[in-house]
Amino acid sequence: GAVVSQHPSRVICKSGTSVKIECRSLDFQATTMFWYRQFPKQSLMLMATSNEGSKATYEQGVEKDKFLINHASLTLSTLTVTSAHPEDSSFYICSARERGADRDRRKLFFGSGTQLSVL
């Protein structure tokens, strides 16, 4: 099956620093990338949707200036948490939609997630 590589898997940082998370589709082209956040014992909540070459669309309540998303190519999207604070500590997961997938929801593939801990 298609593989989505997400790095790093775990990051611990000091409050006020910025953290970049990478999401790569290894054997397919991803026209759309979704970024989710998951707090302990909670569901995955969509943060933003990005299409290659376009600005990301953020969900209500998600700060655009805090969570910077770049989708510069069909195989790479990055999420940068700027000036991270302890309340940003969470599990971040990307999902990539395969190019040409049309309506097939089976063509959505998830990364393995990044556990962010802000001290």
Partner 1 sequence: QKEVEQDPGPLSVPEGAIVSLNCTYSNSAFQYFMWYRQYSRKGPELLMYTYSSGNKEDGRFTAQVDKSSKYISLFIRDSQPSDSATYLCAMSVRDRGSTLGRLYFGRGTQLTVWP
User: Which residues form the interface with partner 1 (CB under 8 A)?
Assistant: 4, 6, 9, 32, 34, 36, 41-46, 49, 57, 91, 93, 95, 97, 101, 103, 105-106, 108, 110-113, 115
Instruction: Write the CA distances from 30 to 62, 72, 83, integer angstroms.
Output: 23, 11, 28
CB 72 → partner 1: shortest distance, Å? 19
Name every residue whose Cβ is closer than 8 Å to that of residue 55 and which is 6 or more positions away in sequence: none
Instruction: Write the CA distances from 64 to 18, 27, 42, 58, 108, integer angstroms.
Output: 14, 29, 22, 7, 24
Residue placing its CB nearer to partner 1 in the complex, 74 or 91: 91
Residue that is written with structure tokens 């990539």 in the block: 96
CB 99 → partner 1: shortest distance, Å? 12
CB 74 → partner 1: shortest distance, Å? 15
CB 28 → partner 1: shortest distance, Å? 14
Residue placing its CB nearer to partner 1 in the complex, 2 or 16: 2
